[in-house]
């Protein structure tokens, strides 16, 4: 397997470049795709040297808002000055209000968001830099908060969103202006057939889980797992044996489904067969009621989604499950280590957790692709099943993963797995599986958007992230 990183990209990626969106009235970002086209032609983000961004951010973090504005904005600042400063902070404003002249407050708001975001970026810890530091931490920590995403299930054939063969590229043929529209609640009400035409692609396999899921189970068995916040909707954690009380399914799951009209909830598996055959599952009671009404008045109007079952996964426009809010504040303060695995951390509010954990708490990333918009102390890059197996193998026998593939991945004495330093400044290491000859799938290059997921009370303003290193 090849690393998709240049030997050192520190100059470019520090700081990360982030796209800001306008704020809608409810604080949610709009889900439209973003581009630098929103900028006037005389503003080119790429003209700003990374060192200038680093220096500007450093000044803001060290001296605070007032000194920063005094130094970097002229007294009678124009909109152009504000835009230039936003760019200098490493952000590209999106959907700029027009005409410029009447909307200076909008620009000030965007600048304010950029400043807030910069101030919330953590500093990497000086004492957590190496693979050994990461291994020591995992073995010593007792309250590990694990954030997971689609990447921990891709080895089971469930596509993630953004990889080249990910879900978003699979639904391109639907001709949607944005692939996320298949998870839009309003659209579901207008036309549930859109969702049911693709839902089979993300239907979870039953009774399967990956070695990475087993790694989380080992943390649980050792009493080290504070909680696993999963963005996945596949419910595979339950098959891996992760206890309900240790799990928050931040975006709901396929485990149950509810009628959008009467709210009756059924076991998710009851509608799997219909999902597989691309049929819309309907609630028997509501269907009866509808038939009875239509018998009396065949002109009666029913919404397309009347009596339709919807898996209890969180669509854009829906609130997050309440147990996210029940636990998140306490867990953020209680954890002694944060591990993020298999996630691009582009979906708020889960992506916000990383910035909200106190700065003294170490953070480790396990992911195929590096993440530039967060400051992890150590990034262990590679397929997460390989990385989890590498960690387990290094930590000793009691860490062996309870998974049928563990010994195949590691080899008899762990000889299959190697780790290489990728970038010393960013503390990135690549786990290489010598027995795996598969070509790595690149994640879509270019500008990526943060989804307009349901935003909880504690959400930070919407931010869009721009990947600044095109995948090879």
154 binds ligand CNA (CB under 6 A): yes
Classify residue 130 by its DSSP letter. S
Of 307 and 342, nearer to ligand CNA (C-beta) is 342
Which one of 14-22, 98-106, 147-155, 282-290 is the stretch in contact with ligand CNA (CB under 6 A)?
147-155
Cis peptide before 15 (omega within 30 of 0): yes
Give the pairing type, strands 247-249 and 225-230.
parallel
Number of residues written out for the chain: 472
Chosen residue from 89, 158, 332, 447 binding ligand CNA by CB under 6 A: 158
Instruction: Establish if 162 lies at the interface with ligand CNA (CB under 6 A).
Output: yes
**How many angstroms separate the CA atoms of 195 and 271, rounded?**
14
Q: Does 234 bind ligand CNA (CB under 6 A)?
A: yes
Instruction: Name the segment binding ligand CNA (CB under 6 A); options: 36-44, 161-169, 256-264, 319-327.
Output: 161-169
Chain Cα centroid distance, residue 337: 19
Per rule CB under 6 A, count of chain residues that contact ligand CNA:
30
Structure tokens at 199: 């839902």
**From candidates 34, 56, 155, 256, binder to ligand CNA by CB under 6 A:** 155
Q: Which of residues 344-373 bind ligand CNA (CB under 6 A)?
A: 344, 346-347, 367-369
Residue 86 sits at φ, ψ, to 5 deg, of: -60, -45
Supply φ then ψ for residue 297, to 5 degrees.
-145, 95
**Which of 146, 283, 339, 384 is in the footprint of ligand CNA by CB under 6 A?**
384
Cα Rg for the chain, rounded, in angstroms?
Answer: 23
- In which order are the strands placed within the sheet that holds 309-313? 265-267, 252-259, 309-313
Binding-site string for ligand CNA from residue 317 to residue 346, where x marks contact by CB under 6 A and - marks none: -------------------------xxx-x
Q: Identify the three-state secondary structure at position 353.
A: helix
465 is a contact residue toward ligand CNA (CB under 6 A): no
Range in contact with ligand CNA (rule: CB under 6 A) among 185-193, 220-228, 229-237, 357-365:
229-237
Contact in structure between 450 and 37 (CB atoms under 8 Å): no
Q: Note whether 149 binds ligand CNA by CB under 6 A.
A: yes
Measured distance CA(28)–CA(264) in Å, rounded: 29
Q: Which of residues 173-212 bind ligand CNA (CB under 6 A)?
A: 202
| CB 212, min distance to ligand CNA, A | 7
Active site residue 403: no
Residue 301: C-alpha distances to residues 291, 292, 304, 306, 308 (Å): 12, 13, 9, 10, 15
How far apart are CB 37 and ligand CNA at their closest, in Å?
23
CB of 441 to ligand CNA, least distance (A): 8
Cα separation, 414 vs 233, in Å, equals: 32
Q: Is 161 in the site for ligand CNA (CB under 6 A)?
A: yes
175: which 2 tokens? 């001709």
| Residues near ligand CNA (CB under 6 A) | 149-151, 153-155, 158, 160-163, 166-167, 202, 231-234, 251, 342-344, 346-347, 367-369, 383-384, 443
């Amino acid at each position: 397997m090849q690393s998709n990183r240049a030997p050192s990209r520190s100059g470019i990626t520090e700081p990360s470049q982030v796209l800001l969106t306008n704020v809608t009235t409810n604080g949610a970002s709009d889900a439209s795709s973003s581009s630098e086209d929103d900028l006037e032609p005389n503003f080119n983000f790429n003209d700003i040297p990374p060192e200038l961004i680093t220096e500007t951010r450093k000044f803001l973090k060290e001296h605070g808002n007032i000194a920063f504005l005094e130094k970097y904005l002229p007294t009678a600042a124009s909109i152009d000055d504000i835009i230039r400063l936003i760019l200098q902070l490493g952000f590209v404003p999106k959907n700029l209000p027009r005409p410029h002249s009447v909307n200076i407050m909008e620009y000030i708001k965007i600048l304010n968001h950029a400043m807030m975001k910069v101030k919330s970026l953590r500093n990497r810890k000086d004492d957590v830099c190496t693979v050994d530091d990461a291994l020591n931490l995992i073995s010593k920590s007792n309250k590990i908060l694990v954030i997971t995403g689609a990447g921990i299930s891709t080895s089971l054939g469930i596509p993630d969103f953004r990889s080249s063969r990910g879900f978003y590229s699979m639904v391109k043929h639907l001709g949607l202006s944005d692939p996320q529209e298949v998870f839009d609640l309003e659209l579901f009400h207008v036309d549930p057939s859109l969702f049911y035409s693709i839902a089979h692609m993300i239907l979870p396999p039953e009774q399967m889980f990956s070695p990475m899921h087993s790694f989380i189970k080992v943390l649980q068995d050792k009493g080290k797992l504070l909680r696993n916040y999963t963005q996945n909707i596949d419910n595979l954690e339950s098959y891996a044996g992760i206890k309900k009380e240790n799990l928050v399914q931040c975006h709901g799951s396929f485990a149950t489904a509810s009628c959008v009209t009467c709210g009756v909830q059924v076991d998710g598996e009851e509608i799997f067969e219909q999902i597989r055959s691309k049929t819309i599952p309907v609630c028997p009671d509501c269907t009866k009621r509808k038939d009875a009404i239509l018998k009396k008045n065949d002109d009666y109007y029913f919404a397309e989604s009347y009596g339709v079952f919807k898996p209890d996964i969180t669509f854009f426009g829906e609130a997050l499950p309440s147990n996210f809010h029940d636990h998140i504040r306490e867990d953020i303060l209680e954890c002694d280590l944060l591990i993020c695995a298999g996630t691009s951390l582009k979906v708020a509010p889960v992506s916000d957790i990383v910035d909200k954990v106190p700065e003294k708490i170490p953070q480790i990333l396990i992911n195929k692709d590096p993440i530039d918009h967060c400051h992890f102390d150590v990034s262990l890059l590679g397929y997460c099943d390989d990385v989890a197996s590498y960690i387990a193998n290094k930590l000793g026998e009691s860490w062996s993963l309870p998974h049928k593939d563990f010994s195949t991945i590691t080899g008899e004495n762990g000889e299959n797995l190697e780790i290489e330093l990728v970038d010393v400044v960013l503390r990135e290491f690549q786990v290489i599986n010598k027995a795996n000859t598969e070509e790595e799938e690149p994640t879509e290059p270019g500008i990526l958007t943060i989804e307009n997921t349901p935003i909880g009370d504690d959400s930070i303003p919407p931010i869009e992230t721009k990947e600044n290193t095109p995948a090879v």
